[in-house]
Homo-oligomer: A and B are copies of this chain.
Amino acid sequence: MMEYVGFIAASLTTLSFLPQTIKIIKTKDTKSISLGMYMMFVLGVAFWLIYGLYTGDMPIILANLITLILSSIILVFKLNELFGKK
């Protein structure tokens, strides 16, 4: 039973970044997005990926690989808004 709860939890928190990524790609608007959040979050997810690779834990590797890709896209858009050519 608890495996299902864990699977649902991991799927929701991982896939939740998809609607935010799509919204930003469509609108190019990242004004209310926090640069601090996504710098910390991308770094944290990268650490989770290292942890998963080292312990050989497939769910942790898969979930954090997807989250790393999605949250990195958001970070790039935010950096581009702040430092990109005007």
Chain A residues in contact with chain B, CB under 8 A? Answer: 2, 5-6, 8-20, 22-24, 27, 29-38, 40-41, 43-45, 47-48, 50-51, 54-55
Q: Are B32 and A33 in contact (CB under 8 A)?
A: yes
Q: Are A44 and B11 in contact (CB under 8 A)?
A: yes
A32–B22 Cα distance when bound, in Å, is 11
Contacting residue for A40 out of B16, B34, B47, CB 8 A: B16
Given known A-B contacts A19-B40, A32-B23, A37-B20, A12 and B47 have beta carbons under 8 A apart: yes
Contacting residue for A19 out of B22, B36, B43, B45, CB 8 A: B36
What would 16 A/B residue contacts be, using CB atoms closer than 8 Å?
Answer: A5-B54, A6-B47, A6-B48, A9-B45, A9-B47, A11-B44, A12-B43, A17-B37, A19-B35, A19-B36, A19-B40, A20-B33, A23-B36, A23-B37, A24-B32, A32-B33
